[in-house]
C-alpha cells in the first residue's frame, strides 16, 4: 500500500520534501507496528529454566527435607520414580535438551489455584539414570501460553502436595518456620543444602538434597528441589 502510494505520487510529479517525509513517517509507523505485533506473542512454556545453583553453598541442614511429593494424587519419589512411570500415570510428553554428559529430560505440567497459574517440571539429568531426580514448581504470569506438550492438570484441588507445609504464595516467615535456617539466603532466595555419606554393598556414596525457594517481594514464586546420589 505504501509502495503504491509513493509510486502514484511519483507518476503525478509530486516529488516534494513533503512527500518524502510522509512516506518515511508511514514506513516508520508500519515497522514499529509490525515489531509490536511480533512481540505480543510470548514464547510458549515448555522447557524448564536452568537452576543456577551457586557452587559455594556449604551443606548445613541436618537431614533430608524432600524425598517424595504428590502430583494429582500420584506419589513421585526422587531417585525412585522413573520418568516413564510418571508419564504413564500423569501423561504429558518427555522433552530433552543438551548433549551427552549434560542432557536433561523433563515432563511439563500446568494448573491453577486461587492465586493464579503455575507450571511444574519433573526433571532427570544424566546422573539420575532415567529417574526423576528433581522438580521445579513455579508461578507463571497471567496469560502465559503453554506448549501442547505441557499437560494441563486442570483445576483440581491439591494437585501438588509437598511433605512440608510449603507452597507457592507462602511468605518468607512461613518458609523459615517450615524449613528452618537456610544454608544461604538473600532477598531473592533461600537455599537449603543437606549432604550425608552412606554405604551400599560396600560402595560409599554421597546423597545431596537441595531446596531452593525463590522469593518475589517476600512471597514464594518458585520452589526447586533435587536429590542425587553419587559415588
pLDDT in tens, 94-105: 999 988 778 999
Label residue 158 by pLDDT band (50, 70, 90): low
pTM for the structure as a whole = 0.80
User: Please, are residues 119 and 138 in contact by the beta-carbon 8 Å criterion?
Assistant: yes
- Residue 19: HSE in the Cβ half-sphere, 13 Å Cα cutoff: 14
pLDDT of residue 156: 63
Alpha-carbon gap, residue 24 to 31, rounded angstroms: 11
In whole angstroms, give the CA distance from residue 156 to residue 88: 19
Instruction: Give the tens place of pLDDT for each residue, 122-139.
Output: 999 999 999 999 999 999
Between 205 and 59, residue with greater pLDDT = 59
Taking a C-beta distance cutoff of 8 angstroms, is the pair 153, 110 a contact?
A: yes
pLDDT at 10 over 80: no
Q: Is the pLDDT of residue 39 over 80?
A: no
pLDDT at 37 over 70: no
* CB-facing half-sphere around the CA of 114: CA atoms within 13 A: 5
Lowest mean pLDDT among 30-39, 64-73, 111-120: 30-39
Please compute the mean of the pLDDT values over residues 12-19 and round it to a whole number.
39
Query: Distance between CA atoms of 163 and 222, rounded to whole angstroms?
Result: 16
Question: Which among 98, 122, 120 is positioned nearest to 111, based on CA atoms?
Answer: 120
State how far the Cα of 81 lies from the Cα of 96, in Å rounded to an integer: 18
Conformational region of residue 81, where left means phi above 0, alpha means psi within -120 to 50, and beta covers everything else? beta
208 CB-near residues (< 8 Å, 6+ apart):
59, 193, 194, 195, 226, 227, 228, 229, 230
Q: Which residues fall within 8 angstroms of residue 9, CB to CB, at 6 or more apart?
A: 15, 19
Would you say residue 214 has pLDDT above 80?
A: yes
Sequence-distant (≥ 6) Cβ neighbours of residue 128 within 8 angstroms? 79, 134, 228
What pLDDT, on a 0 to 100 scale, did the predictor assign at position 105? 97
What's the pLDDT at 194? 97
pLDDT for 28 = 38
* pLDDT 10s digits, 74-92: 999 999 999 999 999 999 9
Cβ neighbours of residue 147 closer than 8 Å, sequence gap 6 or more: 44, 45, 46, 108
Mean pLDDT of all residues belonging to the chain: 83
| Percent of the chain residues past pLDDT 90, beyond the cut | 66
More confident position, 60 or 34: 60
For 13, left (φ over 0), alpha (ψ -120 to 50), or beta? left
Region of residue 170 (phi > 0: left; psi between -120 and 50: alpha; otherwise: beta): beta
Amino acid at each position: 500500500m505504501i509502495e503504491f502510494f509513493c509510486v502514484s505520487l511519483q507518476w503525478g510529479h509530486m516529488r516534494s520534501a513533503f512527500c518524502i517525509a510522509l512516506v518515511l513517517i508511514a514506513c516508520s509507523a508500519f515497522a514499529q507496528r509490525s515489531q509490536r505485533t511480533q512481540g505480543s506473542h510470548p514464547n510458549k512454556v515448555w522447557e524448564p529454566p536452568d537452576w543456577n545453583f551457586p557452587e559455594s553453598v556449604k551443606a548445613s541442614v541436618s537431614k533430608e527435607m524432600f524425598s517424595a511429593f504428590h502430583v494429582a494424587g500420584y506419589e513421585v519419589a526422587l531417585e525412585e520414580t522413573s520418568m516413564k512411570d510418571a508419564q504413564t500415570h500423569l501423561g504429558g510428553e518427555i522433552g530433552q535438551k543438551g548433549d551427552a554428559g549434560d542432557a536433561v529430560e523433563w515432563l511439563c505440567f500446568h494448573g491453577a489455584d486461587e492465586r493464579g497459574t503455575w507450571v511444574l517440571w519433573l526433571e532427570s539429568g544424566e546422573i539420575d539414570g532415567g529417574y526423576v531426580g528433581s522438580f521445579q514448581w513455579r508461578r507463571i504470569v497471567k496469560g502465559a501460553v503453554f506448549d501442547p506438550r505441557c499437560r494441563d492438570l486442570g483445576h483440581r484441588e491439591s494437585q501438588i502436595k509437598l511433605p512440608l507445609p510449603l507452597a507457592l504464595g507462602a511468605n518468607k516467615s512461613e518458609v523459615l518456620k517450615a524449613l528452618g535456617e537456610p544454608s544461604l539466603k538473600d532477598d531473592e532466595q533461600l537455599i537449603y543444602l543437606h549432604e550425608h555419606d552412606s554405604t551400599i554393598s560396600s560402595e560409599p556414596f554421597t546423597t545431596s538434597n537441595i531446596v531452593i525457594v525463590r522469593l518475589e517481594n517476600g512471597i514464594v514464586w518458585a520452589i526447586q528441589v533435587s536429590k542425587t546420589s553419587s559415588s
